[in-house]
Amino acid sequence: MLFNFVEKYLMRPKRLREAIQAVVRENDELLRRLAEYEEEGPTNLTWAEGDRWYGWTYNADKKRYYFDDIGNESLMGLWEDQWLREAEDYGRSESNASQG
């Protein structure tokens, strides 16, 4: 009985067409957002666990992730540490290139 009701109610051509169109619109929006995300460049994520801040950044030029899995007491401290690691890494790669 429930099966017959669902089949008659949902499978009418107009309702089925509307459902398919809704899924297509959702997928188009998802694809648009993914393309926008990929074009943005460097990406990062920061989160708090208890009283510690953790995070990671991605440098697209170097194709490298920078992780802070030790944690930091403040959000600003976390980002200062990550920027320092990126700067040190950039300095090492510049000195290696000049020696090569």
**Count of the separate structural domains present in the chain:** 2
pLDDT at 12: 67
Residue predicted with more confidence, 60 or 98:
60
At residue 55, the 3 state secondary structure works out as strand
Flag whether the pTM goes above 0.75.
no
User: Which residues form the domain of 13?
Assistant: 1-40
pLDDT at 99: 59
Task: Return mean pLDDT, the chain.
Answer: 77
Same domain assignment for residues 89 and 75 = yes
Same domain assignment for residues 53 and 99 = yes
**Helix (H) or strand (E) segment spanning residue 21:** helix 13-39
* Cβ atoms of residues 52 and 73 within 8 Å: yes
By CB atoms closer than 10 A (0-12, 13-18, 19+), residue 55 is buried
Same domain assignment for residues 88 and 54 = yes
Same domain assignment for residues 57 and 95 = yes
Same domain assignment for residues 47 and 29 = no
What is the per-residue pLDDT across 54-94, written as a single tens digit (0 to 9) for each?
Answer: 988 877 777 778 888 888 889 888 888 878 877 887 776 66
pLDDT at 72: 87
pLDDT at 82: 79
Residue 56 CB partners (closer than 8 Å, separation 6+): 44, 45, 65, 66, 67, 68
